[in-house]
Structure 1
Amino acid sequence: MDSDLRSIQQARDLATAAREAMRSFQFTEQAAVDRICKAMVDAAMREAGRLGQLAHDETGFGYPNHKKLKNEFAAAGVWESIKDTPTCGVLRRDEAKKVVEIGAPVGVIVALSPSTNPTSTAIFKILIGVKARNAVIVAPHPSANTCTNEAVRVMAAAGEAAGMPKGLVSCMDELSIAGTNELMNHHATSLILATGGPGMVTAAHSVGKPAIGVGPGNVPAYVDRTADIATAARMIVESKSFDCSTICATEQCVIADAPIADQLRSAMKAMGAHWLTPEEADKLGSQMFRPNGMLNGSYAGRTPQQVGKLAGISVPDSARILVADLAGVGPKFPLSREKLTPVLGFMVADGWHAGCEKAVELLKFGGDGHSVVIHSRDEEAILAFGIQKPAFRILVNTWGSLGGVGATTGIKPSMTLAPGGMGGAVISDNVSVEHVLNIKRIAYHLHDAPAVAQAWKGGPSAASAFSAPGHLPQRSSDAEMIERVVHLVLKEMGR
């Protein structure tokens, strides 16, 4: 059988098996679901280092130790944020509105995984999916097939040993465009969770299924004159160098407030930032990006020294990142684009109003809706950035990379960062379990029907028709009755 036909057949087989497994899992009680998830987390933590090394060896991206940290974050960090979230049975009871909310799975989730964060993204998507009692089929990036499959195998084996039905978590290994399209379009597929490049995300949004996707993150980092300059310099260099800038929330261009620009430049150099000459920057920009503006994949996720070697530029061994001064933003300035490699732009603006305008230029050029970083002690400037910037993550005095995913900030830990409607996504959140959980609502009679009818006609009761107090029935057996129904359903299924 030809490879594309094998891939199509595998997609069909996995989707069908996943749906059957999900149906047998959909009424599982919370304690059992959490036990299965915890077993998968423990397995991912044990294997985090090995999986990180596999990801580095297969893709050539980043640093093994940094990939290990991302795997640990995707397992333990994400689990800590969702472990107490109820997803099974009765979730909430609103006494005033007489509504009972019940958790339900979405169904079969197709989880498209990128080459930049292949194992950590797979771990993360499996965890939030199974927590909500969904089936998850991971579709790896072709250049990260082996390491992604191994991460999924580790998770599935641990889950099944703890009682998860076989087939609930699986991974394609017969990869082709035709096979991935078959998987996304299959009648058993309920939702596509897409993390990766723009072509793949566009494809996910085009198949006619519900899809949650990401967008590019051309993240500006504004350093205000009120900032702690030494701390800002350290964080920017550390964040940009982390795993060779393969997290989409990583800083892409620094905008330095004019009075502190030279001080910031010196502090960054002391932390390992190597400044390119204008000639070197032009040479690198012309080679790093193709005529259509797409990043040349050979530069992605490489060390500064590897980038220098590819471009024919001398880079010292001490360099942690490469920095290029930029005269503007746009196609004529290729290094003002998103760079999934440790190359950073640097611009100067006088005052936060001017810095604000430069940040908007960068976001509109290639990062609408994603993230922006600000280093400042001026709460007015910080609030202005939050209000005015076309970005849904405004990260204050922190790393862009680990701040955006929720490792160094209080936002939801996630490996999939949605850019909202302005960035082409249906949500603006850090994707987590609530986005792959459906909710049923039992709604009791609340408003008096004649009064409501009068309201439609604009009668005298219009003002009060929808304000009548209501209470859920006070029978103490309500919750017990719902649980008995669930047990009856399970009994009918032979479980």
Structure 2
Amino acid sequence: MPFSADNSHVDALFSQARLAQADYEAYGSQARYDSAAQAAAWAIMEPARNKQLAELAVEVTGLGNVPDKITKNHRKTLGLMRDIADAQTFGILSDDAKTGITEIARPLGVIGAVVPSTNPAATPANNVINALKCGNAIILSPSPKGVSCCEMLLAFIHAEFDKIGEDKRLVQMIPAPGSKADTQRLLELADLAVVTGSQDNVRRAYSSGSPAMGVGAGNVAVIVDETADLAAAAAKITASKTFDNATSCSSENALVVVDAIYDAFLDAMGAQGGALVPTAQAAAIVARLWPDGHLNREAIAKDADVLIEKLGMAGSVPAGTKFIAVETDGIGPDHPLSGEKLSRVVALYRARDYDDAVAITKRILTYQGAGHSIGLHTADIDRPVDLGRHMPTCRVIVNQAHTFATGGSFENGLPFSLSMGCGSWGGNSIDDNLHWKHFIQRTKVVRPIPAREPSLDAIFSAYWEKAGK
């Protein structure tokens, strides 16, 4: 990529990070790595600082709301600290006399992390904690709107580092104002490039020449089948869809409801604050939410009252409306409701039966969001596994509030993360939630052992019986 500006300041920043990481590793220990990670975690979790970060994030990005960002900063970080509390990331991991192999934990080096404006504190904190836990240094490249929030987070982390005598150069950021050229240079220099957010940045990371982990786009579709507990499903969908004003990539973007319980579900949804917009009015919503072919920045990630006003729905939806469900049957680039909306708007599809619901959901994923996740509200124990066997998705979230479940939850076994790998379906190198295991590598010491060479008969006898020699 041709650079429009001198990037020597990025090189200088990286050189300092490289020096700090070399010392961190040379004089490292599990206790030191753990202490640094704890310092970074407390920097964002301490209540007063958490509140400051949440308030600044909403102020400078215009996305989400303060109470939910406080909750996100706290719970995502607390969950991550639970996940890594007993993880060994330093020293000898295993010593197997049978194989003759000793595995030693080793850092990756200097991480370059690009972070989005939707989570300008929680996502960089998550990356910083994972990097430090595994013996790395890290340089952040925030989105333009998230620069001041990232600056505040780093100031808080460095203040905690002062308490424990840790090297501040381990956690740095590209200084304001930043640029695409600066970010590209960081991606090229990094020992590992980690990118959450813009798919353009993800592609840049994969083509940078550095090892890279990018995550795919979300466009969550959720099936509600005829066996579901409709009241519980509606409550969970509402809590998830409205959290932080739908800024999460795990926020429901389409509800696919089977005909047999469609009307009953609408009643349950309405009781939770979901307002129905019939098909006849869908075009008017599209015109206001995508006024020039792009999402309306005055409507996305806003509180319900602001969204309703911007969509021209004031006075035509019930008082207390929390989100809008727009009936549609269109899917694809000519039907923007079928894609990610970053707002308290969800597309509503009526399926003939469960099989039709699966077919609709697959068409939605094929258009946008493949690999990320789908949801299913059901009492059937076999349907979730069947979806997992046949749908282009890395996660099937069953009977849960999708936003809270996909990135790890205290009520499921997924690791806490703000970055969801989408596998080959989403053009990603990982299919897991990005977590600490992706920030470490292993050196294997390999010793000779007694030979374990099998005979041809031991390998091929069953095949020869079937096919002959």
Instruction: Determine if contact 2:95/2:102 at 8 Å carries over to the other structure.
Output: yes
Q: Kindly, what percent of the aligned residue pairs are identical?
A: 29
**Which of 399, 402, 424 is matched with 2:401 structurally?**
399
Following TM superposition, by how much is the alpha carbon of 1:446 offset from its aligned partner in structure 2, in angstroms? 1.9
Instruction: Determine if contact 1:123/1:152 at 8 Å carries over to the other structure.
Output: no
Aligned to 1:481: none
Aligned to 1:182: 185
Aligned to 1:302: 302
Following TM superposition, by how much is the alpha carbon of 1:152 offset from its aligned partner in structure 2, in angstroms? 2.3
Equivalents in 1 of 2:195, 2:431: separation in Å? 14
Find out whether 1:42 has 2:42 as its counterpart.
Answer: yes
Deviations 1:341-395 (A, max 9, x none): 1100111213322111111111111011000010111012122112111111110
Equivalents in 2 of 1:57, 1:214: separation in Å? 26
**Which of 352, 356, 359 is matched with 1:357 structurally?**
359
| TM-score of the superposed pair, with normalisation by structure 2 | 0.91
Aligned to 1:222: 223
Instruction: Determine if contact 1:416/1:431 at 8 Å carries over to the other structure.
Output: yes
Instruction: Determine if contact 1:305/1:316 at 8 Å carries over to the other structure.
Output: no
What is the correspondence of 1:9-408 to structure 2 with a 5 Å cutoff? 9-27=8-26, 28-46=28-46, 47-174=49-176, 175-186=178-189, 189-289=190-290, 295-314=295-314, 318-407=320-409, 408=411
What secondary structure does 1:90 align onto?
strand
Following TM superposition, by how much is the alpha carbon of 1:316 offset from its aligned partner in structure 2, in angstroms? 5.5
Would the alpha carbon gap of residues 99 and 340 (structure 1) be closer, same or farther in structure 2, given more than 3 Å must change?
A: same
Question: What amino acid is aligned across from residue 10 of structure 1 in structure 2?
Answer: H
What secondary structure does 1:97 align onto?
coil
Following TM superposition, by how much is the alpha carbon of 1:459 offset from its aligned partner in structure 2, in angstroms? 6.8
Deviations 1:47-75 (A, max 9, x none): 22221111111111111010011111232
Instruction: Determine if contact 1:116/1:246 at 8 Å carries over to the other structure.
Output: yes
Equivalents in 1 of 2:162, 2:458: separation in Å? 58
Question: What amino acid is aligned across from residue 344 of structure 1 in structure 2?
Answer: V
Following TM superposition, by how much is the alpha carbon of 1:296 offset from its aligned partner in structure 2, in angstroms? 4.2
Q: How many aligned residue pairs are there? A: 452
Find out whether 1:427 has 2:430 as its counterpart.
Answer: yes
Aligned-pair RMSD on alpha carbons?
Answer: 2.2
| TM-score of the superposed pair, with normalisation by structure 1 | 0.87
Please list every run of 5 or more consecutive structure 1 residues that lacks an aligned counterpart in the other structure.
464-495
Equivalents in 2 of 1:402, 1:367: separation in Å? 18
Deviates more, 1:57-66 or 1:272-281: 272-281
Instruction: Determine if contact 2:98/2:449 at 8 Å carries over to the other structure.
Output: no
Equivalents in 2 of 1:196, 1:127: separation in Å? 19
Would the alpha carbon gap of residues 423 and 460 (structure 1) be closer, same or farther in structure 2, given more than 3 Å must change?
A: closer
Deviates more, 1:149-158 or 1:238-247: 149-158
Instruction: Determine if contact 2:407/2:416 at 8 Å carries over to the other structure.
Output: yes
Would the alpha carbon gap of residues 152 and 440 (structure 1) be closer, same or farther in structure 2, given more than 3 Å must change?
A: same
Equivalents in 2 of 1:239, 1:159: separation in Å? 35
Deviations 1:426-484 (A, max 9, x none): 01000001011011111111243xx75xx7xx778989xxxxxxxxxxxxxxxxxxxxx
Instruction: Determine if contact 2:40/2:128 at 8 Å carries over to the other structure.
Output: no
Following TM superposition, by how much is the alpha carbon of 1:284 offset from its aligned partner in structure 2, in angstroms? 2.2
What secondary structure does 1:318 align onto?
coil
Equivalents in 2 of 1:385, 1:146: separation in Å? 42
Question: What amino acid is aligned across from residue 238 of structure 2 in structure 1?
Answer: V
Instruction: Determine if contact 1:37/1:159 at 8 Å carries over to the other structure.
Output: no
Deviations 1:3-26 (A, max 9, x none): 9747x2332222111111110111
Please list every run of 5 or more consecutive structure 2 residues that lacks an aligned counterpart in the other structure.
461-469
Instruction: Determine if contact 1:322/1:343 at 8 Å carries over to the other structure.
Output: yes
Equivalents in 1 of 2:35, 2:11: separation in Å? 29
